Amino acid sequence: MATALQVPLRGLLGLLLIACVTPWAEGWKVLVVPMEGSHWLSMKDVVRQLHARGHQAVVLAPEVSLHIKGEDFFTVNFYTFPYTQEEYKNMMDEGKFVFETQNYLESLFKAVTSFKKFTAAYERSCVELLRNNSLISQLNSSSFDVVLTDPVFPCGAVLAKYLSIPAVFFLRGIPCGLDFEGTGCPNPSSYIPQLLTTYSDHMTFLQRVKNMLYPLGLKFFCHIAFSPFESIASEVFQGEVSLVDVLSHASVWLFRGDFVLEYPRPIMPNMVFIGGINCVSRKSLSQVCIAAFIQSMFQQETFLKLLPRAYLSTRLPKDVYLFICTSLWRGI
């Protein structure tokens, strides 16, 4: 009798041990702090997938926005924004026409003016957010597991560091090489072409010199864009804090890029390239499209070039041609 019970007892102990060491699958609570425009349109698909996989997403958004609206796959918490909907739309529209003029100095002046307005709006909005004690207390008590944010305007990064929550950055890049500094990545100007230079990773000596000097011109724009957020971070943490200190808090960097289109560069283990996220999912073409393709293949000389020479010396039946065309179609 004891022997008969021994095997089930061992089995039960084994199952209990497996249950103890196997993590339970449960959804995370994700705080999403998005950026306006195309930044959010890319991030929204990620939030949708998080919801589909059982995670709970809360989007923290300004009460005035052009693209960030409520959806059934996330909850929205709004905070104060210092502009009305009409004022904000007009400010965004101004930026569309900055580079329409042919005069370089005029374009530069318009760009700086528009950039200052845009930065001032998000700076004031960030201050309103971080000084909203009731909202901050609510976020603290909600026990979020991670913050998903775009650090191009780093209010979400400051908030994640302030709440001591791991941050995941979702971005295309940050001007002035701040993404390199935040990740601790080497950025040799002799080999890595700067943004908007149109250079490749094979540069002449003069191009390398220009590539090294090019970021100096962007420092002015970066000072306008990011120095206010350094001041905000220093106020929040009650001490001098640089933007690099804030960015280095990120646990994972998700770059919307791919080395299929970009030149080689050093990366860190917590940098993940997800360039395909902006690609539309491929859908099967209809039978009408397939039939049109096959018909065009019969009519075009290019079809003959795709066939081996052995086929060209014989007259194949039509069903064989149809089979070859269909195979080529599936391969394409």
- Read off the pLDDT of residues 221-235 as tens digits, 9 standing for 90 and up: 788 888 888 999 999
Is residue 232 situated within a structural domain? yes
Please report, for the domain that includes residue 75, its CATH number: 3.40.50.2000
Residues 55 and 149 in one domain: yes
Q: Which domain holds residue 112?
A: 29-278
Q: What is the pLDDT of residue 16?
A: 44
Kindly indicate the confidence band of residue 41, based on its pLDDT and cuts at 50, 70 and 90.
confident
Residues 73 and 194 in one domain: yes
The answer to whether 91 and 97 have CB atoms below 8 angstroms apart is no
Residues 325 and 237 in one domain: no
What's the mean pLDDT in 284-309?
A: 57
The pLDDT mean for the chain works out to: 78
Residues 164 and 226 in one domain: yes
Q: Which one has a higher pLDDT value, 331 or 282?
A: 282
What's the mean pLDDT in 240-252?
A: 93
Final residue before a domain boundary, out of 278, 295, 310: 278
Q: Is the pLDDT of residue 3 over 70?
A: no
Least confident among 2-6, 85-89, 97-101, 179-183: 2-6
Is residue 7 situated within a structural domain? no
The answer to whether 182 and 244 have CB atoms below 8 angstroms apart is yes
Q: Is the pLDDT of residue 284 over 70?
A: no
Distances (CA, A) of 274 to 163, 236, 294, 299: 27, 32, 35, 41
Is residue 9 situated within a structural domain? no
Show the CA angle centred on residue 307, arms to residues 302 and 312, nearest 5°. 100
Kindly indicate the confidence band of residue 15, based on its pLDDT and cuts at 50, 70 and 90.
very low
Residues 125 and 198 in one domain: yes
Judged by DSSP in three states, 145 sits in coil
Q: What percent of the chain has pLDDT over 90?
A: 32
What's the mean pLDDT in 133-159?
A: 92
Residues 144 and 42 in one domain: yes
What's the mean pLDDT in 190-201?
A: 82
Least confident among 119-133, 220-234, 296-310: 296-310
Is residue 20 situated within a structural domain? no
Residues 249 and 313 in one domain: no
Is residue 203 situated within a structural domain? yes
Q: Which one has a higher pLDDT value, 144 or 64?
A: 144
Residues 251 and 315 in one domain: no
Is residue 37 situated within a structural domain? yes
Residues 118 and 237 in one domain: yes
User: Does the pTM exceed 0.85?
Assistant: no
Q: Is the pLDDT of residue 24 over 60?
A: no
Is residue 231 situated within a structural domain? yes
**Total domains present in the chain:** 2
Residues 224 and 89 in one domain: yes
Is residue 176 situated within a structural domain? yes
Residues 125 and 99 in one domain: yes
Amino acid identity, residue 196? Answer: L
Q: Tally Cβ neighbours within 10 Å of residue 171.
A: 20
Looking at residue 142, the DSSP 8-state letter turns out to be T
What's the mean pLDDT in 186-201?
A: 84
Residues 122 and 266 in one domain: yes
